[in-house]
Amino acid sequence: MEQRTSGRLPVELTRFIGRQRELDALRRVAGESRLLTLTGAGGSGKSRLALQLVQTLTDAPDVAWVELAPLSDEALLPAAVLRALGAPAEGGAATADTIAGVIRDQPLLLVLDNCEHVVDACANLVHALLQRCESLRVLATSREALGVTGERAWLVPPLDLPDPAASVAALAQSDAVQLFIDRARDVVPDFALTTSNASDVGAICTRLDGIPLAVELAAARVRHMTPRQIHERLDDAFALLTSSARTAMPRHRTLRAAIEWSHDLLPEAGRVVLRRLSVFRGGFTLDMVEDVAAGEGIDRSDVLDLVTRLADRSMLFVRERDGEARYHMLETMRQYASQKLDDAGEAERVRARLADAVSALVAEVEPSLTTTARRAAFARLEPELDNIREVLPWTREHTPEQHVRLVGSLWWFWFSSRHWVEAHDWLTGALALPAAQARTVERGKLLFAAGALGALRAHSDAARPLLEEAAAIAAETGDDRLAAYANNYIAMTWGASLSPRAVEYAERAEAWFRAHDDPYGLRLALLLGGMGLHGAGRAEEACARMEEAVRIARRFGQDRELAVALQTYSTVLIGIGRVDEVAPLLRESLYALQRDPSFLFVARAIDYVAYSLAEQDPRTAARLLGIATAMRRHIGANRFAHDEVRMQRLIDVLRDRLGDAYDPAFDEGLAVPPGGAIDQVLGKADGSGYEGIRADLAEAGESASPQASAGARPEGNTHASPETGTARQFGSGADLSVRMLGAFEVVVDGKPVEGWTYGKPRELLALLLLDPAGLTRTEVGQALWPDAAPGQVRNSFHVTLHHLRKALGRADRVVLAGERYRIAPDVTVAFDAATFERLARRALASTEPSQATIEVMRDALALYQGAFLAGESAGAWRDEVQDRLRRLRCDLGVRLAGALESAGSAEEALREYERVIADEPVHEPAHRGLMRTLAATGQRAHALRAFERLQHVLEALELTPEPETLELLGRIRSAAVLDA
């Protein structure tokens, strides 16, 4: 075979940009696998990265590059490979054998570029060649993995994206920005990144998800447009991003063509689901996708598998967060799919389903946002913010009644977020709708939300009438909970200025919260009543209420609520002159807010720290005031009136001490990004005393953190299984009862689970039950999808986990602990296989079986109704479990039969020996027991026939009886007295 060199590689006409981390990683991977496939979306740079990799491999053998994009018929694939090898097929005939004959045993790197439209043919050919040619290595590029055993699939990521807040110099370090600059200079040689265009260039690269083709096409527009104009037109990326280069590959001349190439390779069902998924913004979890994508020709049970296939073909990307998968569509792909949705006439119907799904999620989560589950509930909604923002304007226009309900239900979510200005806009807009004018619960919730937000932002006079109307509507409609919360926030509008009028409203709310055991509302009622009492000069009563509020907050166990209580108590203590008691409370408050921040209360805490530093470090105090002011501006809030009086006095003092230096120090703080403000207080040691505060704070946190006072959950799993009782009684009272010995059955909360979509969720449940300590996703993947690429494993795992969690009724019954997925420790589980194994090993460990041990053996064997997962479709991992449990069942059966034989229960012993032999025909101890018992009961002829049966089985396997068996046979034949 003639020498093949890099001269046969494609010639690069433009400079390769970035990707150094990827190349370093790929060089390592390339040395570990004979088949490496670079996967990724159209235009992600797979081919360029493959070419660069080949050129930088120091140990690369001869290289043959096969460009498959022009190939229109998969039958022509072998001939195309032969041509790249310099050996055209004779008469057009080409097979894997022909190619293998050309390659022989010579080292070769075969590059198959753009396999996606002939992926099955590529997989078959590569599999055959790798078997025949030991020195062959294959590098492929494709929008999906080939699926060949031993393949390493490597997803090509987008280019590094810029930090939007970075300086021009830092922005220029982004690979995506560097690519934009380089390609822009191809058309405008003096193009440069400047302070005037940097933010737009960064935004362009971010909007285009760092996809190289899209960035290159955008950069080419610099010939006729400014970066600002390009940025403004990206909502219609396909009209903007085209290329007139005649030599470009047809499907790379426009972004639309690159995406259309992938779209047209999908089956029809995949195209339908893809376009329906375009209504999601910011990604989606599997919980909502069935509701949105199913229907009108797409069966609900097929949706999740179609999503997995889209991800396998690089049309969706998966990102994990706290063990849950979130699927994302590149913005350019989303725009394309959205146009397809409009063309199909489905847009409004699918958007209506998205609105219903989001509304249902918000309604489900809302009650938890004022409980100890607040943070977990917020964590479920916060990733859906872009989808919420997509749904809100649509419902306002199309389903205003739904819009009113949704906006009102979002209040506690907005409160826990930083988006108070946005919340105000939605609430004000919803209240103006005709659908919100009737005096209904929905209007009451809107009024309460708008009023509560106003109270927190210190807009008391505007908030009070809204809250008063909300309270009146709540009374009319019988919503006592809403009335109590409305009264709480009316109290806040008065308590902000220390008005004694806060007391009457707080006490009304307090009575309901005490009666209905609502610690969240009770804590706040006590704090607000205390503010009113403080304003009335009743200091002792005020402090008593504050102390109770702090105690309740500690029991409640949430950091933010504790921080608010500590802050508010500090305000009263300062006001009555007990200043020495304040420092530890404020420090603990800061410690809590660092774990669970809220812009309003972080800003308030920073104000208080500034107040404490005024004497020793006035410049730092001024800077901190700037930081706090920036945070309040972000959420559109003012200081509470009583705080404003105190802080204005502080500002006057600082201005007097610093003179002209005050404004620069304040402005320096004003420029600090609000998200990092708490770290500015706790995270620096710059001579201002912060280090000492942090040390004291840590000490306070150790002794008084809510976690320390709440009590620790005992270690270990609380899975429970019965130790005695019949198989019929098995699982009684358990949250989760599972049978896998024989027939498969799962009972959750007393109800059988039906409608399993396919076998993998059942397999996953079995794996998790067999190992209560849990399994990593990689370990699950090795068991369930041993030949799949890592990306495919990730997709398949999360779809399977989603199905399992749905079957178990609650997502939190399978949890992520560290890197291991496991059944939640607080779920009581009865699992027949685990109970059988535990009881069997206990009985076998007994040296002289008693009657109690015999009962344990009977109970264990009653659970063994058949082989583990018999009749189920499962992977090779099941074989080891089946063999282990079957051997255990046989050993236990022989032990039980022997005990029965000794106890004189010969008939039952004979039945047990027969059962063991039926399960394991070559189990000689069982055969010997059967022969011995038959002979001992006068059935010597039957005992001899039992031996003949064993002998036939052994002869078929070319085995001979064990010496103990032959000895027993001789004794039976001689009619010797047998030892029982």
Which of 781, 767, 880, 779 is CA-nearest to residue 834? 767
pLDDT at 696: 37
More confident residue, 820 or 978: 820
pLDDT at 193: 92
Q: What is the mean pLDDT of residues 398-418?
A: 96
Q: What is the mean pLDDT of residues 79-95?
A: 78
Cβ-based neighbours of 504, under 8 Å, separated by 6 or more:
none
Confidence category of residue 940, pLDDT binned at 50, 70, 90: confident
Q: How many CB atoms lie within 10 A of CB 888?
A: 17
Query: Of all helices (H) and strands (E), which one includes residue 720?
Result: none
Distance CA 403, CA 897 (A): 71
What letter would DSSP give residue 629? H
pLDDT at 323: 77
Q: What is the mean pLDDT of residues 580-591?
A: 86
Catalogue the E-assigned strands of 755-909. 814-817, 820-823, 829-831
Q: Model confidence over 377-401: pLDDT tens digits?
A: 999 999 999 999 999 999 999 999 9
Position 376 pLDDT exceeds 80 = yes
Q: What is the mean pLDDT of residues 679-693?
A: 43
Q: Model confidence over 708-750: pLDDT tens digits?
A: 333 333 333 444 444 444 444 676 778 999 999 988 999 998 8
Position 340 pLDDT exceeds 90 = yes
Q: Provide the angle, in degrees to the nearest 10, between the axes of the packed helices 420-431 and 618-635.
A: 30
Position 786 pLDDT exceeds 90 = no
pLDDT at 92: 55
Confidence category of residue 615, pLDDT binned at 50, 70, 90: confident
Distance CA 857, CA 864 (A): 11
pLDDT at 227: 93
Position 434 pLDDT exceeds 70 = yes
pTM above 0.75, yes or no: yes
Q: What average pLDDT does the structure give for the chain? A: 87
Position 37 pLDDT exceeds 60 = yes
Tokens 């041990």 belong to residue: 853
Confidence category of residue 827, pLDDT binned at 50, 70, 90: very high
Distance CA 609, CA 326 (A): 40
Distance CA 304, CA 108 (A): 40
Confidence category of residue 653, pLDDT binned at 50, 70, 90: very high
More confident residue, 243 or 581: 581
Position 557 pLDDT exceeds 60 = yes
Position 245 pLDDT exceeds 70 = no
Query: Of all helices (H) and strands (E), which one includes residue 112?
Result: strand 108-113
Three-state SS across 916-929? HHHHCCCCHHHHHH
Position 682 pLDDT exceeds 80 = no
Distance CA 452, CA 491 (A): 10
pLDDT at 542: 96
pLDDT at 139: 95
Listing DSSP states for 476-545 in one string gives HHT-HHHHHHHHHHHHHHHHTTT-TTHHHHHHHHHHHHHHTT-HHHHHHHHHHHHHHHHHTT-HHHHHHH
pLDDT at 472: 97
Q: What is the mean pLDDT of residues 527-542?
A: 96
Q: What is the mean pLDDT of residues 944-969?
A: 89
Position 791 pLDDT exceeds 80 = no
**β-pair type (745-748, 736-739):** antiparallel
Q: What is the mean pLDDT of residues 318-328?
A: 84
pLDDT at 690: 35
Tokens 């699918």 belong to residue: 350
pLDDT at 712: 31
> Which range is least confidently modeled, 78-92, 345-359, 407-421?
78-92
pLDDT at 414: 97
Q: What is the mean pLDDT of residues 55-81?
A: 85
For 108, phi and psi rounded to 5 degrees?
-150, 140
Q: Model confidence over 150-176: pLDDT tens digits?
A: 888 888 888 888 887 778 888 888 999
pLDDT at 155: 87
Position 584 pLDDT exceeds 90 = no
Assess contact for 821 and 777: CB atoms under 8 A. yes
> Which range is least confidently modeled, 30-39, 56-65, 468-477, 480-489?
56-65
Which of 183, 44, 63, 54 is CA-nearest to residue 114? 44
Q: What is the mean pLDDT of residues 654-673?
A: 93
pLDDT at 320: 83
Distance CA 133, CA 98 (A): 12
Cβ-based neighbours of 161, under 8 Å, separated by 6 or more:
174, 176, 205, 206, 209, 210
The percentage of residues in the chain with a pLDDT greater than 70, rounded to a whole number, is: 90
> Which range is least confidently modeled, 300-309, 335-344, 382-391?
300-309
Q: What is the mean pLDDT of residues 93-117?
A: 89
> Which amino acid is it at 798?
H
Give the best-scoring range by mean pLDDT among 301-315, 481-495, 874-888, 911-925.
Answer: 481-495
Confidence category of residue 580, pLDDT binned at 50, 70, 90: confident
The percentage of residues in the chain with a pLDDT greater than 90, rounded to a whole number, is: 51
> Which range is least confidently modeled, 97-111, 367-381, 964-978?
964-978
